[in-house]
Amino acid sequence: MKKITLITILLVSLAILSALETAIAPKMVYIQISRDGTVPPAGTITFTCNKVGSNLIKLTESSPNCGYFPVHGSGYGVIYADITQLFHEENEVYYNWQPDDELRFMVVYDNAPQYANFNIFYTLGDGCFESSTGIEDFVPLAVTLSSFTAVYQDGSSRLQWVTQSETNNAGWNVYRSETDIQEDGLKVNPDLIPGYGTCTEPQEYIYEDTEIESAKTYNYWLESVDYTGSSQSYGPIVLQIPEEGNGETPDVPLVYGLHAAYPNPFNPETTIQFILNEPADVELSIYNIKGQRIVTLLDDFVNKVDEPVSVHWDGKDARERNSGSGIYFYQLRTTGRTQIRKMVLVK
């Protein structure tokens, strides 16, 4: 208890100092989490926190005065976040939080072979120190998704996905939205799509969404649900519905830069895509959680523009050794621009 109290005092002090530098009122938030009644070990929890309604305002566990620590003997650990570190990526300023702001913590638990990701929503009060009133309990899932695609066919969206393995998978839900925010999505399947429980063989699923409108662009997510009711999400993937009288599936509007790796989580291979708006020298590298570069996948001049460039990673480092389970970052560096995304290798 003394150790927890000292940690709390230290973190509050750091938050106050940080707030004084940024002229933003100090605020520390603590959230208790439990892995099915047990303590998630140190090093297994990462998170991104954003203001609900604005994905551009965010912080991560690597932001100053943010992170996770286990409370041994208690059955839970604690996520802590210095809310003064919320940063507006577009305006490049720290966000001045307000009481009643709603935050979403997107939490990843990675402790191979167990894996889970889940959301925690928290509404800010007006004090400088706050903690959750209860313990957020989660149950790790083990569904390895190897592909997830959508095509427009005969007036409907045809979704297809393949799993390489499943553990306690009761079934699936499909969500559709006209934005890239899953919370805006509508569940389109009236009943749970049955899963295969526990299996180690590849399984294929197909679902047709018929309640769609022409000339719309839809985002789709999958949600796997286990027998306890815990869930894990995958996606989104994007499908543009053609105008009436045009049966062809139109191209999705181009999004320049680094795209999401797919599949993600993956085992042992994944594909990374990017799109350039002009020819450029390109370096695409993989880094581990410690920030160490483990392999460079591409270091060359690329003159292919306005269409995806796909780069495959087989999960091996520069010495052809298999990488272990965990969180990895892939970085795209071009002239005047650097982008980084996160992916998870699960074995």
Between CA 247 and CA 251, with CA 250 as vertex, the angle to 5 degrees is 160
- Residue 143 in this model has a pLDDT that exceeds 80: no
Element (H, E) at 16: helix 2-22
Top mean pLDDT of 24-33, 140-149, 237-246 is at 24-33
Backbone angles phi, psi at 282, to 5 degrees: -125, 135
Percent of the chain with pLDDT over 90: 39
Backbone angles phi, psi at 112, to 5 degrees: -45, 135
Tokens representing 190 are 């009236």
Pick from 224-238, 281-295, 300-314: least confident: 224-238
Q: Give the single-character DSSP code of 324.
A: P
The pLDDT tens digits for 252-266 are: 556 678 887 888 778
Mean pLDDT over residues 135-146, rounded? Answer: 75
Q: Which among 203, 163, 346, 325 has a CA at the least distance from the CA of 267?
A: 346
- Residue 171 in this model has a pLDDT that exceeds 90: yes
Amino acid (1-letter code) at residue 219: N
Backbone angles phi, psi at 317, to 5 degrees: -85, -170
In angstroms, the CA 207 to CA 190 distance is 12
Mean pLDDT over residues 39-65, rounded? Answer: 91
Residue with tokens 């989580």: 265
Mean pLDDT over residues 218-222, rounded? Answer: 93
Q: What mean pLDDT is reported for the chain? A: 84
What are the chain's domains?
2-138 (2.60.40), 144-240 (2.60.40.10), 257-345 (2.60.40.4070)
Give the model's confidence band at 9: pLDDT under 50 very low, under 70 low, under 90 confident, else very high. Answer: very low
Which is more confidently placed, 98 or 307? 98
- Residue 20 in this model has a pLDDT that exceeds 90: no
| Alpha carbon of residue 335 to chain centroid | 27
pLDDT of residue 114: 67
Give the model's confidence band at 173: pLDDT under 50 very low, under 70 low, under 90 confident, else very high. Answer: very high
What length does the chain have? Answer: 347
Q: Max alpha carbon distance in the chain (Å)? A: 71
- Residue 141 in this model has a pLDDT that exceeds 50: yes
pLDDT of residue 306: 84
Pick from 115-124, 250-259, 273-282, 316-325: least confident: 250-259
Mean pLDDT over residues 169-177, rounded? Answer: 93
* Rounded alpha-carbon distances, angstroms, from residue 306 to 102, 225, 256, 297: 38, 38, 8, 21
Q: Are 102 and 126 contacting, i.e. CB atoms less than 8 angstroms apart? A: no
- Residue 3 in this model has a pLDDT that exceeds 70: no
Q: Which among 102, 104, 118, 129 has a CA at the least distance from the CA of 45?
A: 118
Amino acid (1-letter code) at residue 34: S
- Residue 8 in this model has a pLDDT that exceeds 70: no
